[in-house]
């Protein structure tokens, strides 16, 4: 079992033990995930790009960022588990697609959007 599978299993048991499965619908989990991403954004919102790159150097900020990242990971993992999506497989498939869309020669050093794949 991978670490991600172990985490999903632990989260599944956590929800089951508290009889929370009825609340862990895809909609509710996606909304909770969005809320946690918002909290992560709030930690970085008013920092300059340089300050945000150094945020982990501040122990208090680092603790808050770790906590928000953990919340995002937890809700994303739980949502994928409820939807029966293999996150690692899905991420590799998406990266394969992006590799085809953003060829190295055309997009090196560029932040412009590629057209959709045909």
Confidence check: pLDDT of 31 > 80? yes
pLDDT, residue 61, reads 97
Q: Is 44 left (phi over 0), alpha (psi -120 to 50) or beta?
A: alpha
User: Over the stretch 32-58, which tens digit does the pLDDT of each residue have?
Assistant: 999 999 999 999 999 999 999 999 999
In which band, very low, low, confident or very high, does the pLDDT at 77 lie, cut at 50, 70 and 90?
A: very high
Tell me the pLDDT band of 115, cut-offs 50, 70 and 90: confident
What's the whole-number mean pLDDT along residues 96-103?
A: 93
pLDDT at 45: 97
- Statement: residue 86 has pLDDT above 90: yes
């Amino acid at each position: 079992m991978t670490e991600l599978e172990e985490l999903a299993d632990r989260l599944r048991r956590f929800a089951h033990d508290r009889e929370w499965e009825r609340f862990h619908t895809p909609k509710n989990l996606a909304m909770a995930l969005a809320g946690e991403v918002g909290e992560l954004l709030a930690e970085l919102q008013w920092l300059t790009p340089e300050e945000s790159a150094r945020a982990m150097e501040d122990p208090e900020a680092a603790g808050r960022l770790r906590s928000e990242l953990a919340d995002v990971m937890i809700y994303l993992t739980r949502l994928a588990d409820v939807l029966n999506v293999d996150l690692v497989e899905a991420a590799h498939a998406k990266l394969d697609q992006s590799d085809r869309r953003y060829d190295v020669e055309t997009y090196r050093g560029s932040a412009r959007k590629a057209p959709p794949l045909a």
